[in-house]
Amino acid sequence: MNIIVLVKQVPDTESLLEVDTANATVNTQNVKWIINPYDEYAIEEALQIKEAKGAGSVTVVAVGPDRSEQALRTALAMGADTAVLVNDAAAEGSDALGIAKVLAGVIKEMPYDLVIAGVRAVDDDGYQVPAAVAEYLELPLVTAVIKQELGEGKITCHQLVEGGSLVVEAPLPMLFTAQKGLNEPRYASLPNIMKAKKKPLEKKRLADIGLDAALVGTGSAKVAISALALPPERKGGKMVTGDTPEALAAELVRLLKEEAEVL
């Protein structure tokens, strides 16, 4: 079973972000970069499937600048076999559809039975790229999967929806997106981190995948950020006073009712 996993490098969720309001960009100089946490579930699931089958390969694919190589090396250290990074200045400033066109362009040249991605990236919170990749590759799609069972030529996915879950069957090849709960991603061990440095990581340009640069990048983007701001700062309010739990509770409920007027 050959599995492809879509990977994105994002700022660490524990990092505080600075916004350059004049240029509508996020200042990322001091940011620590990590694999998108949802992509770790996707990588882990791919590895578990390959290990259970005892055969096949796991390929991780990313679009991004040079630093993205670090995220792919981490994925290789977790156990992925090969990696592909599309690093092309022409793809910078792409919207979700632009990125998806690049990813689909890479994937269609490779043999695969399954494509797995994170349910969303925790930077742009877009939820869009994996679905667009599925459309471009004409693959069945199930999003937000928390459990899957592979059968003969098909897969059964448990999809986390509002208020419960749906069990969805799809034929292979297909694409599904990983939601938290799917598994516990492994840590890369030191020996594996060393080994990962020697695993194949192929770098490609748009020309290598035969994609017209006019279809991606800022020029073709249909969604653009026109302004960025930090959310209005929340200041600490007041500490509720009272000598006993009962007095504290009575005062809190009074404040919620009379001052905040929300009860």
In the range 218-237, which residues lie near other proteins by CB under 8 A? 222-231, 234-237
Shortest separation between residue 229's beta carbon and other proteins, angstroms: 5
- Please report whether residue 198 would count as binding other proteins according to CB under 8 A: no
Stretch that binds other proteins, among 18-26, 108-116, 188-196, 202-210 (CB under 8 A): 18-26
For residue 263, the 8-state DSSP code is -
Contact 216, 94 (CB under 8 A): yes
- Please report whether residue 169 would count as binding other proteins according to CB under 8 A: yes
SS (H, E, C) 33-100: EEECHHHHHHHHHHHHHHHHHCCCEEEEEEECCCCHHHHHHHHHHHCCCEEEEECCHHHCCCCHHHHH
**How far is it, in rounded angstroms, from Cα 180 to Cα 171?**
23
Enumerate residues 172-191 that contact other proteins by CB under 8 A.
174, 179-181
Q: Which of 13, 10, 63, 14 is nearest to 36 (CA)?
A: 10
Shortest separation between residue 26's beta carbon and other proteins, angstroms: 6
Which of 97, 106, 114, 117 touches other proteins by CB under 8 A? 97
- Please report whether residue 108 would count as binding other proteins according to CB under 8 A: no
Q: Give the H/E segment covering residue 151.
A: none
Which of 168, 202, 208, 213 touches other proteins by CB under 8 A? 168
- Please report whether residue 258 would count as binding other proteins according to CB under 8 A: no
- Please report whether residue 213 would count as binding other proteins according to CB under 8 A: no
Q: Nearer Cβ to other proteins, position 11 or 76?
A: 11
Shortest separation between residue 240's beta carbon and other proteins, angstroms: 5
- Please report whether residue 77 would count as binding other proteins according to CB under 8 A: no
- Please report whether residue 214 would count as binding other proteins according to CB under 8 A: no
**How far is it, in rounded angstroms, from Cα 242 to Cα 232?**
30
Stretch that binds other proteins, among 1-9, 15-23, 43-51, 186-194 (CB under 8 A): 15-23
**How far is it, in rounded angstroms, from Cα 15 to Cα 17?**
6
Shortest separation between residue 36's beta carbon and other proteins, angstroms: 10
- Please report whether residue 194 would count as binding other proteins according to CB under 8 A: no
| Size, binding site for other proteins by CB under 8 A | 82
Nearby residues of 39 by Cβ (< 8 Å), 6 or more positions away? 5, 6, 7, 8, 75, 117, 118, 121, 178
Contact 204, 196 (CB under 8 A): no
